[in-house]
Structure 1
Amino acid sequence: MTGLELSKAYYEAFGSSMIHNQFPEYEKYAAVGLVGEGSECLGFDDGLSEDHDFGPGFCIWLPEEIYRAMGSQMQQAYERLPKTFEGKTRMETLEGQGRVGVFNISDFYKKYIGCTSSPRTNVQWMMLPETSLATVTSGKVFTDPLGEFSAIRNDLLKFYPKDIFLKKLVARMAVMSQSGQYNYERCMKRGEFAAAYLACGEFVKAAVSAVYLLNRKYMPFYKWMFRGMDHLFYLKEVKGLLEQLVLLTDSAENTSRKVELIEAVCIGIRRELNRQEIVQGTDNFLQNHCYEVMKAIADEQIRQLPIIYDCK
């Protein structure tokens, strides 16, 4: 049983009746599910995941006025539910406290994206890191009779507005060409192996993010970036190339092979940019396409930002 399945079964066994019997007048306001931090919210949990911040539990999200009126009482009722279910006992670290239980909808979203609802402007969207959006749109909502929690969630799941998507993509292209296509080999030729290692890391992070962006999916926390690529539709081959790149040591004898892998990744990205009609040219040096993409951004405030800028 996965963490998400455990959460839903625990809610159905105990949570649903708790809400219905103890808070019948508030049942219509309560959204329930499991969303947020933790591998179980991404569906990536395994036996190793169970040693911390794992076990039976679920989230209850209430509108602000209902939370003020009844949140404390509902949290107390939640804490009286059985601690063990299906042989699993929830194990929480200090850092992992507060991932399940009763929440104010506005506060829940503010914790992860800094605002109480979906962003209203391009600047607000620009300031939201992919990983934060991946976290707050992870997991599953089991029930939401009012629909307030899901309305915000569904807005976020629509992905970045076009101008923000393009700007973030440009930033990834710029970093990929700067760190991988330009600086990596130069560092190796100078014998600056530590710098080359860092350049390769910057390239890999930017390339993985570009793949997620081109799939219109938010990239998760770095620990799960590669795992999540298995669930993407486009550019599946890039994961294998990047894994080869990461696993090769930065030594003189590996330089040419790593340069080849970097170029192969960039070629794959460029071809996908062509296929999606984001760029027209066939130059494999990604930097040379950045200004073409920038010109397609309608919002002048976003278009005037430096090509490499992004809050990440």
Structure 2
Amino acid sequence: MKGLELAESYYRKYGARMIKEKFPQYQDRIAAGLVGDGSECYGFDDGISRDHDWGPCFCLWLNKADFEIIGHALHLEYQRLPKYFNGCERIASPWGKGRVGVFEIGTFYRKFIGLPHAPKTPEQWLCLPEAYLSSCTNGRVFYDPPGQFSQIRKELLGFYPEDIRLVKIAARCMTAAQSGQYNYMRSVRRKAYYAAQYAETQFCTDIMSLVFLLNRQYMPYYKWSHHALCELPLLGKFLHQKIDDMAASHNYETKNDIIEEISAAVIRMLHQERLSDSASDFLLDHGPVVHAKIRDKNLRQRDVWIG
């Protein structure tokens, strides 16, 4: 059983009953689910995942007023729930503290995005790393009668405002071209092998981010970004395979050919999405074209490399 299914079963058998018995007047005021850090929140967990911070658990989210009244008592009752469930036990690591349990809604979101609500301004959106937005919108909400937690989640899942998305796509065109199409083989020819390896990794990171942006999905942090590509309809499985091929190869020319193949596929997608009409095969030339489509004057005046 995957961790997400285990968590929901555990909540429905023990969590919901505990709330009904101990806090009956609040049972329709508490949201429950599993969202945040951990492979199980993405559905990516496997046997290796079970050695730390995996097992029967869930999150409970309360508004500020209710949290001040029953937060501590609810936490104590959560701690008293059975430690074993369906043959599984949660093994907590020193750094896994605070991933699950009882939370005030605003505090939960603030931990990931620095705000108790969805961003309201372009500046707020721009400063948020994709991985943190991914973490606080993954997983599953099991129960949320008040809807406050889910409303913030819905706003975040609506993805970046279009101008912010364009800022980021343009910047990724620039940096992916710089590291992959430009600096990779230059580093190889100089026998600067560390720089070449770094350029390859940077290209993969930026091109994955670009494809997530094209799909209007937040890219998870590095451990799961490549794995998550398979779920994307636009170029996802293609890019997943090509990056695997690149990582498996020890031939510099082969790696460079893959970089060019990936870049060409992304350029075709930029054309298909009507984000660029440039005929260039160099991704860097597409960055300013995408950037020019930004409507907000202040955002359009930003350096195309920054996003």
Give the TM-score range, shorter chain.
over 0.9
Q: Which residue of 1 aligns with 2:246?
A: 245
Equivalent of residue 297 in structure 2, options 290, 297, 300:
300
For 2:171 and 2:243, locate their aligned partners in 1 and report how far apart those are by CA, in whole Å: 19
Cα contact 2:35–2:138 (8 A) shared by 1: yes
Deviation of 1:97 (Å): 1.0
For 1:256 and 1:8, locate their aligned partners in 2 and report how far apart those are by CA, in whole Å: 49
Q: Which residue of 2 aligns with 1:138?
A: 138
Deviation of 1:256 (Å): 2.0
For 2:163 and 2:208, locate their aligned partners in 1 and report how far apart those are by CA, in whole Å: 20
Aligned partner of 1:9: which letter? S
Q: Which residue of 2 aligns with 1:188?
A: 188
Deviation of 1:137 (Å): 0.3
Q: Which residue of 1 aligns with 2:30?
A: 30
Q: Which moved more, 1:134-143 or 1:291-300?
A: 291-300
Deviations 1:32-66 (A, max 9, x none): 00000000000001111110001101100000111
What SS does the aligned partner of 1:224 have? helix
Aligned partner of 2:118: which letter? S
Cα contact 1:123–1:302 (8 A) shared by 2: no
Unaligned segments of structure 1, at least 5 residues = none
RMSD over aligned CA atoms reads 0.9
Cα contact 1:238–1:268 (8 A) shared by 2: no
Cα contact 2:107–2:116 (8 A) shared by 1: yes
Is 1:89 matched up with 2:86?
no
TM-score, normalising length from structure 1? 0.96
Deviations 1:113-163 (A, max 9, x none): 110000001111111111001100010000000000000000000111101
For 1:110-189, what aligned pairs fall within 5 Å after superposition?
A: 110-189=110-189
Among all aligned residue pairs of Structure 1 and Structure 2, give the percentage whose two residues are the same amino acid: 43
Equivalent of residue 278 in structure 1, options 267, 275, 279:
275
For 1:291 and 1:176, locate their aligned partners in 2 and report how far apart those are by CA, in whole Å: 14
For 2:143 and 2:8, locate their aligned partners in 1 and report how far apart those are by CA, in whole Å: 10
Deviation of 1:248 (Å): 2.1
Task: Return structure 1 stretches of 4+ with deviation > 4 angstroms.
Answer: none
Deviation of 1:298 (Å): 1.2
What SS does the aligned partner of 2:231 have? coil
Cα contact 1:56–1:88 (8 A) shared by 2: yes
Cα contact 2:227–2:240 (8 A) shared by 1: no
What SS does the aligned partner of 2:33 have? strand
Q: Which moved more, 1:204-213 or 1:138-147?
A: 204-213
Deviations 1:253-287 (A, max 9, x none): x2222211111010010000011111112211011
Q: Which residue of 2 aligns with 1:225?
A: 225
For 2:173 and 2:197, locate their aligned partners in 1 and report how far apart those are by CA, in whole Å: 19
Q: Which residue of 2 aligns with 1:55?
A: 55
For 1:239 and 1:284, locate their aligned partners in 2 and report how far apart those are by CA, in whole Å: 21
Cα contact 2:278–2:289 (8 A) shared by 1: no
What SS does the aligned partner of 1:28 have? coil
Cα contact 1:172–1:207 (8 A) shared by 2: yes
Q: Which residue of 1 aligns with 2:253?
A: 256
Unaligned segments of structure 2, at least 5 residues = none
Aligned partner of 2:186: which letter? R
Aligned partner of 2:193: which letter? F
For 1:256 and 1:99, locate their aligned partners in 2 and report how far apart those are by CA, in whole Å: 44
Aligned partner of 1:149: which letter? F
For 2:132 and 2:69, locate their aligned partners in 1 and report how far apart those are by CA, in whole Å: 29
Cα contact 1:32–1:142 (8 A) shared by 2: yes
Deviation of 1:237 (Å): 1.2
Aligned partner of 2:278: which letter? G
What SS does the aligned partner of 2:223 have? helix
Deviation of 1:238 (Å): 1.8
For 2:72 and 2:153, locate their aligned partners in 1 and report how far apart those are by CA, in whole Å: 24
Q: Which residue of 1 aligns with 2:262?
A: 265
Aligned partner of 1:246: which letter? A
Cα contact 1:8–1:58 (8 A) shared by 2: yes
